[in-house]
Structure 1
Amino acid sequence: MTGTAEISMIVAFGTDMGNAEDAAMTFAESVAPLGIQAEAIELNQVEVAELQSVTHFIAVVSTFGEGDFPDSATLFWEALESSTERLENLSFSVLALGDSSYEFFCNAGKLLDAKLEQLGATRIVDRVDVDGFYEQPAKAWTADVVKILTAERGATAPAEAVAAPAPGRERHEEFEAALVVNRLLTAAESDKEVRHYEVDLAGSGITYQAGDSLAVHATNDPALVALILTELGVGPDHLVPDHDEPLGVLLSERLEIRTPSRALQDVAGPAAYGEDVLDLIKRAGLKTEDVLDTLRPLGFRDYSIASSPLVHPERIHLTVASVRYPGAGRDHRGVASTFLADRADRIRVHLRPNHNFRLPAPDVPIIMIGPGTGIAPFRAFLQEREATAAAGRAWLFFGDRRRATDYLYGEELDGFLDSGALTRLDLAFSRDQDAKVYVQHRMSENAEELFSWLADGAYVYVCGDADRMAKDVDATLHEVVARGGGMDADAAHTYVNDLVKSHRYVRDVY
């Protein structure tokens, strides 16, 4: 497409926590001066047939779990993957967001890019794979695409089209807040450590909604930093070429030393489950110059907010499991979870809005599935429904290991039952009987009633572990629909897909 050819465009995103959405919205703003009208939409809202009727397709997609598409893109990918319709008249570009510490780095973006090429579409620019912080690479990719589109528009392009892309929204503005509550939720004899935190928002200007997350900017464990310095044979004041700060500061505040990067594993060999940077340094006998440039920037950690602003406008509550486990003759600790538990009194935070994970109208029924720390956003939902005297029914599935030690917010949940904010509570404590019982078992036991709630328009929310729980719950939801609705597997699959597309089945999983 050259000269003054008209451009029609779809800009779409597949996002988990909003980064891909933000990058796509910024791109759409950046092509407006070219006279190209495009609104960033979820990939699930795009019909594959629409790609036949536009000239350009711009996709920003993150990768979820074990190389999967995020929920907001799964339906589109399902349709595109099976499509054989040729797309020779389509130009496209893919921005892939990911994390190289995971095995299937940017896999969703790679799959999408390859499939579009297979169907005959032409790349505007090569796919860009972003590792971690996305804003600068996304701006550079946007600028590259806009430059080529400007050339395509030729003489008809308005003068302002050659201007720099519109700046992205400031989503990562940090605030230093006081951590005013830090209390143990689990009983002392529990084999887990889950804590309740409260962050003071006074002076922050932060306003949040139930369903949002809070990003915590932690520093690394001083004990681990000291062990790494000892293993490298240098002190904390050791200066490294091309770095303005001494090594001790870099390892404490700037670099990820808990989760080995893919680049470090290329040098030292693959990391076993639970190994950190020190484990790899020791095993491979690495020196400072071997290690430093392989380490990724220290990223923030996301936690689902466990409070409603209607009840706690000046505070954000968090529910966090402290990660601690032995290995290689020493203790290993999570970065942010033990920073909060052991060392923090003031913390740097920023808000992470989650626009998809929101309560529906007050009279709409909701089904919440949140074992363990997955209870956090549902505590927020129930606070909000209680505060507004919402008429809609609410059903919570909660589980953990043992009721006596791990019934997180148990008294509060019982109180929500008493007030009517919670209509029904089904519990699954896996270690309280010989056969392990999980939330998906409770769902299956109540298939007919669950489906009747769905038939009445209920929204389904899932929060918690992505690797096991979310997959098991998803499989069980399909079974519930098939059994409760008298459908075969294909019809149940279509029914659940419709729930996803209409945002009546949403997940906040990690």
Structure 2
Amino acid sequence: MKVCVIYGSESGTAERGIRSIAKGWKESKGIEVSSIMEGADAARIGLASLAEQYDFLAVATSSNGEGDPPFNFHPFLKALYEADDAGDKPLTGCGFAVLGFGCSHFDTFQNCPRLTDKLLGQLGASRRVQRAEVDEIDADAGDVSKAKWSDAVAKVIKSGKAAATNVCDWTQPGDTILDKHDEMLVAATTGGPPPVLFIGAALAVVAAVYFVKFA
């Protein structure tokens, strides 16, 4: 079974976590991960191509700001939303599992992992392991969650059955989300960059006019 690890990480915690897990799979389970890449690279490959090249997607991500994706995961979440809007199911036949990282001091700390889990399932992929939500506030519990998730994913990979019936719905172990659809797709719907870029451009024009007039 060809396995692809996709991660989104702002501070490096999620990346280090999933790389450590992948290393453990190789050393203790004999599982060789085919690729490890950030979400931005996965988006460039394309969802349909990912499903063609890999049997299983192990996705690890945190959230940033108000439940937003990390900078290197933004294009991947956007691609998921775009495919969902189009009514496509490009990931049919592919298995997946999501590992979420964050700190429960913030209400939206698992927002990006939950959105990712939900959208992957809606795009035809099979949820083969229940999402694990790692909270850095409780390091011991987080280690237990990661180990349990890692063992469950390894078992699926070893079985060779990537695509099968979903083991649960995306709402487990938590279903509170803040939808980021409009924020992810604002450039696509307006035909240009996000509003903040327009504001910046407008300020630049004002500054130029001021310079020419008063300099």
> Aligned pair 1:65/2:65, yes or no?
yes
Q: CA deviation at 1:42?
A: 0.7
User: 2:88 corresponds to which residue?
Assistant: 85
Please give the alpha-carbon distance, in whole angstroms, between the structure 1 residues aligned to 2:5 and 2:147. Answer: 15
Which residue number in structure 1 is paired with residue 173 of structure 2?
Answer: none
Are the structure 2 counterparts of residues 50 and 482 from structure 1 closer, same or farther at C-alpha, using a change threshold of 3 Å?
farther
Are 1:14 and 2:3 an aligned pair? Answer: no
**Is residue 91–residue 121 contact of structure 1 (8 Å, CA) maintained in 2?**
yes
* 1:60 partner amino acid: A
Structure with greater proportional helix content: 2
- 2:101–2:133 CA contact under 8 A, matched in 1: yes
Q: How far 1:147 moved relative to its partner?
A: 2.0
Matched, 1:26 2:20: yes
**Shift of the alpha carbon at 1:65?**
1.2
Contact map agreement 1:30 1:146 (CA 8 A) in 2? no
CA contact (8 A) 1:21 1:40 kept: no
**Structure 1 segment 49-448 matched on structure 2, within 5 A:** 49-53=48-52, 54-83=54-83, 84-86=87-89, 87-132=91-136, 133=139, 134-152=142-160
Give 1:481 shift.
Answer: 6.3
Letter in 2 for 1:112: T
The 3-state SS of whatever aligns with 2:104 is coil
| C-alpha distance in 2 between matches for 1:39 and 1:8 | 9
Is residue 51–residue 94 contact of structure 2 (8 Å, CA) maintained in 1?
yes
% same residue = 27
Compute the displacement of 1:52 (Å). 2.3
Instruction: Specify the alignment match of 1:437 in structure 2.
Output: none
| Amino acid of the structure 2 residue aligned with 1:36 | E
SS at match of 1:129: strand
Corresponding residue of 1:332: none
Q: Match of 1:141, as an amino acid?
A: W
CA distance in 2, matches of 1:61, 1:94: 8
How big is the shift at 1:138?
1.7
Instruction: Give the structure with higher Rg (CA).
Output: 1
| RMSD over aligned Cα atoms | 2.5
State how far apart, in whole Å, the 2-side matches of 1:57 and 1:151 are. Answer: 15
Deviations 1:117-171 (A, max 9, x none): 1112111111111122344422221112112222338xxxxxxxxxxxxxxxxxx
Which residue is equivalent to 2:180?
A: none
Shift of 1:26: 1.8
Corresponding residue for residue 36 of structure 2: 40
Q: 2:133 is paired with a residue of what secondary structure? A: strand
Contact residue 28 and residue 38 of structure 1 kept, 8 A: no
Distance verdict in 2 for CA 1:41–1:135, change over 3 Å: farther
TM-score (norm 1): 0.29
| 3-state SS, counterpart of residue 112 of structure 1 | helix
Counterpart CA distance in 2 for 1:108 and 1:97 is 9
Q: 1:44 to 1:79 in 2, by over 3 A?
A: same
State the secondary structure of the residue aligned to 2:118: helix
Helix, strand or coil at the partner of 2:97: strand
How many Å separate the matches in 2 of 1:478 and 1:18? 31
List structure 1 segments (4+ residues) > 4 angstroms apart after TM superposition: 474-484
Equivalent pair of 1:23/1:135 in contact (CA under 8 Å): no
Answer yes or no: is the 8 Å Cα contact 1:14–1:62 preserved in 2: yes
- Structure with the largest fraction of strand: 1
CA deviations on 1:485-505 (whole Å, 9 max, x unpaired) are xxxxxxxxxxxxxxxxxxxxx
> Secondary structure of the residue that 1:95 maps to in structure 2?
strand
User: What displacement does 1:93 show?
Assistant: 0.1
8 A contact 2:62–2:109 mirrored in 1: no
Answer yes or no: is the 8 Å Cα contact 2:4–2:33 preserved in 1: no
Distance 1:38 1:24 in 2: 14
Q: What is the Cα deviation at residue 476 of structure 1?
A: 4.5
Q: What are the Cα deviations for residues 316-357 of structure 1, in whole angstroms up to 9, with x where unaligned?
A: xxxxxxxxxxxxxxxxxxxxxxxxxxxxxxxxxxxxxxxxxx
- Between the two proteins, the alignment pairs up a number of residues equal to 158
Given that 1:12 and 1:41 are in contact with CA atoms closer than 8 Å, whether structure 2 keeps it comes out as yes
2-structure distance, mates of 1:28, 1:85: 30
Query: Aligned partners of 1:55, 1:478: CA distance in 2, in Å?
Result: 41
Q: What SS class does the counterpart of residue 35 from structure 2 fall into?
A: coil
Select the structure with the greater relative contact order (CA < 8 A; seq sep ≥ 6).
2
Describe the superposition over 1:84-113 as per-residue Cα deviations: whole angstroms up to 9, x where unpaired: 331220100000112222222301000000
SS at 2:10 equivalent: coil
Q: What's the counterpart of residue 238 of structure 1?
A: none
Aligned AA (1:49) = A
Deviation at 1:78, TM superposition (A): 0.9
- Distance in 2, Cα, partners of 1:135 & 1:71: 25
CA contact (8 A) 2:2 2:55 kept: yes
